[in-house]
Structure 1
Amino acid sequence: MKAAAVSSLAANTWWAEAKTATNAQDSRLMFAGTQTGVSSKGIYAFRWDPSNGELKELGLAVESDNPTFIALSPDGKHLYAANEIDQYEGTKSGSVSGFTIDRAGAKLTHINTVSSAGAGPCHVSVDQTGRALFCADYSGGSAASFHIDQTGKLSEPVSQFHYEGHGPVADRQEATHAHRATVTPDNHYVLINDLGLDCIHIYHLDPATAKLTPNDPQEWSAKPGSGPRALRFHPNGKWAYCLNELTSTIDVLAWDGRTGKLTSLQHVELMPKDYRGESAASEIVIDSSGHFAYAAVRFWDRVVTLSIDPSSGKLAQIGATSCGGKVPRHMTLDPTERWLLVANQASDNIAVIQRDSKTGKLAETGNSFPLIKPQCLVFV
């Protein structure tokens, strides 16, 4: 079954409404998911001051087992976490957890936890109705969907897909590695980036039930050995940007919401031609105006700034700036979009870098705030 297309106007309206809702809430609370261990116990809360780019740690919001990616519900009432573990209740699986947000107390109250139906879940996302959640399991090479009831409680998996095969990079693509579950702007499809198989799996979504069914075409294929990791849509809903971890590149893709098809438009190199060290691209962010994109590259430890052509969606590199630490795992723009916040895993800090919204350029230096093994940053 093919979904009817949603117009660019509808896609733009959705993005405008989302931005308006954020501004209306005057969001100044931020949660950070971490890689847990001796010194880190779960999800931490911070108070954000956009006037000077300052974070004040408010402490542990909730204990949670390795919540390496977190996602906010559309109504801002619930937060969901991918618990990146390989064993859950005696089975070879990770888990997904839901929490109710206490904004005044900067705390999270656990709702429930369910199996992710695959080991090592590394990403979660929520659809626009707030009634469906999706996860990608890295080490399990799988993806699943879940229904969310009115209280925020997660169901057992509604749909699950376990992939088979490998890619040409022996040490990183020895098996499938689902890395990202992205809901399309029209809320009709879910796209699963598969780092191990060099593709994006495409599924049709029934928002009422959270059920996923394979689309026709079933996937988009990247260049062999690319390792598609992250995906972001342009605010106009017409273009998508696939960040490839293994080659530190970006594929610019055209999205056809009528057929659920991705078409390659441009392949962009992020690294300098004379660079000979290790690199692994990790995250891409696009501003709400759709004029600029930012890509983080680990081990090179830079954030690359790119301009977006308003007529074609193609990218042009503006420059590269220090990520303010080591091994940038995740990053996000603050609600004012005057600051870029980067979770630096190896240096145990969150870097706050000032951004010029007119030119897109980032400051050469920024503020730094300590947090053990930060993995994901979400404003609520």
Structure 2
Amino acid sequence: MQRNPRLNRRAIARLGLTGFLASAAIGSLPDGLLAADPDTTRLVYFGTYTGAPPQGAGIYVARFNAAEGTLSVPQLAAELRNPSYLALHPSKPFLYAVSEVADADGKPTGSVVALAIDPATGLLTKLNHQSSGGSGPCAVSVDPSGQAVLAANYGGGSSVCLGIEPDGSLRPAVAGTPAGFIQHEGKSVNAARQEGPHGHSIDPSPDGRFAIVCDLGIDKVLVHALDAGKATIRPHGATAVAAGAGPRHFAFHPDGRHAYCINELDLTVTAFDFDAQAGALEPVQTLATIPAGITDRSGFSTAEIAVHPSGKYVYGSNRGHDSIVMYAVEAQSGRLTFLGVEPIRGKTPRNFAIDHSGKWLLAAGQDSHGVSLFSIDQATGKLSYTGRTVPVPAPVCITFR
């Protein structure tokens, strides 16, 4: 799941990480913007893979100016091992991160970390952490009520639900029936990647009654019944995708009636109808993420998926091809039409994010150690590179506050 690219380590060592970021910034704003007026800028957080340079040191923070499409030079907000995915509390100044490891607290698991946000600077203070219940947690989300955190374990092939205390800290997963933990079961056709379950994302339904889990290893999108107040989950249903597809990440349409899953292994996106009352998903369409003329797809895989705030467009990322795929959404049916792909001007877009205004998309180049900024044409959904790339070491998650 993790790659180890190389930059000029001697140069980085001479400058230090802060100096490296500042010296390499293209189209970025001064560090002082972190204390700027929050009415004109928003905090944006970057999760990274960590280790010796050029890898990251934890979670970074910058300010994004949506009026100008500019980003300040990121600063280290909190040291943390492999904070590969981040999620914000819906109403309070708390951020939650997975620590994607397999040895947390000397046990064969990862952890979920709770952090408090300083609204003025964006810097983070750790509150506590809890076991994720399995190795390699790679996704985290918060239910709409702000009562529970959800995480998916890739290595452990499982899901976990952790209750949130009033101060933002996390409680351990509850035992019993129902519990705060579900172990997935099964395998699929790709012997190298699907020898067992691999939970890759977990997202609450818009009404908070269900948790949707993409399990890459078993080619299923699982639906768990969620009781956020009690911080419990229980198996509710499952929908299969094509054998060998490898479902990775999931996104709901703003209307709550449609949803989309990006499939890592076969380079596709599957559209679903969602029955919110029944908590049931029905696949209705699958489209490629790569233009048909590209025949050599060795080393390619998909990663992130997001729906535009307007609901008019869907975007996905292609690693190896190093592009963002663009689709138009038919308003009534939720079906997709392929619009094309846009190069990210970097390598390995494991993640990207659309800002709250819907005018900008930021793409994380994990192996090029930078975040590229794109404008979004509101009439067509097409992306245009702004010419601005801001260095971030091994960025793998972008989250706007």
Distance 1:180 1:127 in 2: 14
**From 309, 313, 336, the counterpart of 2:330:** 309
Counterpart of 1:31, as a letter, is Y
2:45 equivalent in structure 1:
31
Distance 2:138 2:189 in 1: 22
**How many angstroms does 1:304 deviate by?**
0.9
Counterpart of 1:255, as a letter, is F
* Percent identity of paired positions between Structure 1 and Structure 2: 36
**How many angstroms does 1:71 deviate by?**
0.3
Verify: 1:79 aligned to 2:98, yes or no. no
Counterpart of 1:37, as a letter, is G
**From 293, 297, 305, the counterpart of 1:277:** 297
**How many angstroms does 1:287 deviate by?**
1.0
**Number of aligned residues:** 355
1:14 equivalent in structure 2:
none
Residue 303 of structure 2 contacts residue 316 of structure 2 at CA under 8 Å; is this kept in 1?
yes
Q: 1:25 to 1:148 in 2, by over 3 A?
A: farther
2:355 equivalent in structure 1:
334
**From 257, 260, 263, the counterpart of 2:282:** 263
Tell me the SS of whatever aligns to 1:89.
helix
Distance 2:156 2:341 in 1: 34
Which has the larger strand fraction? 1
**From 314, 319, 339, the counterpart of 1:298:** 319
**From 331, 334, 340, the counterpart of 1:319:** 340
Distance 1:277 1:224 in 2: 18
Matches within 5 A, 1:152-167: 152-158=168-174, 159-167=180-188
Residue 263 of structure 2 contacts residue 269 of structure 2 at CA under 8 Å; is this kept in 1?
yes
Tell me the SS of whatever aligns to 2:135.
coil
2:198 equivalent in structure 1:
177
Distance 1:309 1:58 in 2: 37
Structure 2, unaligned runs of 5 or more: 1-37, 175-179
Matches within 5 A, 1:352-367: 352-364=373-385, 366-367=387-388
**How many angstroms does 1:207 deviate by?**
2.0
**How many angstroms does 1:365 deviate by?**
5.5
**From 101, 106, 128, the counterpart of 1:90:** 106
Q: 1:26 to 1:214 in 2, by over 3 A?
A: farther
Distance 1:110 1:26 in 2: 27
Structure 1, unaligned runs of 5 or more: 1-23
Residue 324 of structure 1 contacts residue 366 of structure 1 at CA under 8 Å; is this kept in 2?
no
1:46 equivalent in structure 2:
62
Distance 2:366 2:343 in 1: 14
Distance 2:142 2:114 in 1: 11
Counterpart of 2:109, as a letter, is S
Cα RMSD of the aligned pairs, angstroms, is: 1.3
4+ residue runs over 3 A deviation? 24-27
Counterpart of 2:104, as a letter, is Y
Q: 1:25 to 1:123 in 2, by over 3 A?
A: farther
